[in-house]
């Protein structure tokens, strides 16, 4: 599909829009439907879209494999790390109350960081699974 100029321009616009939408879903999750998981799926979808239009190698150049694999691990690490932060600051595991002087503020902080962790891992895993399935095909048809 590399020949279609209109398609490529529209795709670029769409991808930008999708990423913005993902961020909206992520940070508006406190007030409306949405949250880390949904935002992660949308982020991954944006890059999958990119790969479909511009080809898998192009997508892999933008978001390389090592980065995706690091994302897969980093999100879980961040989430579990927030848990340990509660432990270090004198609370129980995953205790957000102790993350700030004001308990509600602490809850806010905790939720922000763990949702970010969810986003990173989910986006990473979805993208990785897509890469694995797609590249399996390429190698076979070679």
Partner 1 sequence: MTVAGHYSYWITIVIAMAGLYIVIARGNLVKKLVGLAIFQTSVYLLYIAPGKLIGGTAPIVAEGFAVYSNPLPHVLILTAIVVGVATLALGLALVVRIKEAYGSIEEDEILGQDPAPPGRTP
Partner 2 sequence: MISQHYPVLHVVLPLIAAPVMVLARHGGIAWLLATAVSWSSLAVSVALFAQVADGSVVSYAIGNWAPPWGIEYRIDSVNAFLLVLVSLIASVVAIYSRESVAAEVPREQHYLFYTMYVLCLAGLLGIAATGDGFNLFVFLEISSLSSYVLIALGRDRRALMASYQYLIMGTIGATFIVIGVGLLFLMTGTLNLADMAARLPGVTETRPVLAALAFLTVGICLKLALFPLHLWLPNAYAYAPSAVTAFLAATATKVSVYVLLRFYYTVFGESVVFAALPMGGILLALSLAAMFIASTIAIFQDDVKRLFAYSSVAQIGYITLGISFDSATGLTAAIVHLFNHALTKGALFMLLGGVALHLGRIRFRDIGGLARVMPLTSFGVVLAGLSLIGVPGTVGFVSKWYLVLAALEAGAGWLAALIVLSSLLAVVYVWRFVEVAYFREPSEAVSRLKEAPPSMLAASWVMVVGCVYFGLDASTTVGGAAQAAATLLGIGR
Partner 3 sequence: MIIATLLTMIAVITVVIVRERNLFAVVVLFGIYSFLMATVLVALDAVDVAMTEASVGAGISTILFLSALHLSKGIEMKPLHRPFLPLIVALATGAALAYGTLDLPAFSDPRAAIHQHVAKRYVDEAARETGVPNIVTAVLASYRGYDTLGEVTVVFTAGIGVIALLRRMRPRKRGEGS
33 binds partner 3 (CB under 8 A): yes
* Distance in Å, CB of 114 to partner 2, minimum: 10
Structure-token match 């890469």, residue found: 131
Give buried/exposed letters for 20-59 (b at 16+ CB in 10 A, else e).
ebbeebbeebeeeebbbbbbbbbbbbbbbebbebbebeeb
73 binds partner 1 (CB under 8 A): no
The nearer residue to partner 2, 74 or 134, going by C-beta atoms, is 74
Q: Which of 27, 37, 49, 97 binds partner 1 (CB under 8 A)?
A: 37
Task: Name the residues that contact partner 2, by CB under 8 A.
Answer: 69-70, 72-74, 76-77, 80-81, 83-84, 86-87, 91-98
Q: Which of 16, 58, 62, 73 binds partner 3 (CB under 8 A)?
A: 73
């Amino acid at each position: 599909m590399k020949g279609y100029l209109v398609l490529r321009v529209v795709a670029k616009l769409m991808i930008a829009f999708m990423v913005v939408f993902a961020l909206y879903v992520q940070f508006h999750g406190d007030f409306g439907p949405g949250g880390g998981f949904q935002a992660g799926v949308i982020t991954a979808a944006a890059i999958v879209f990119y790969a479909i239009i511009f080809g898998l190698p192009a997508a892999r150049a933008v978001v390389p494999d090592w980065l995706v694999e690091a994302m897969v691990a980093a999100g879980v690490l961040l989430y579990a790390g927030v848990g340990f932060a509660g432990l270090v600051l004198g609370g129980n595991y995953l205790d957000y109350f102790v993350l700030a002087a004001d308990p509600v503020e602490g809850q806010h902080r905790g939720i922000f960081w763990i949702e970010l962790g969810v986003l990173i891992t989910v986006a990473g895993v979805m993208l990785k699974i897509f890469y694995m399935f797609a590249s399996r095909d390429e190698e076979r048809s070679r």
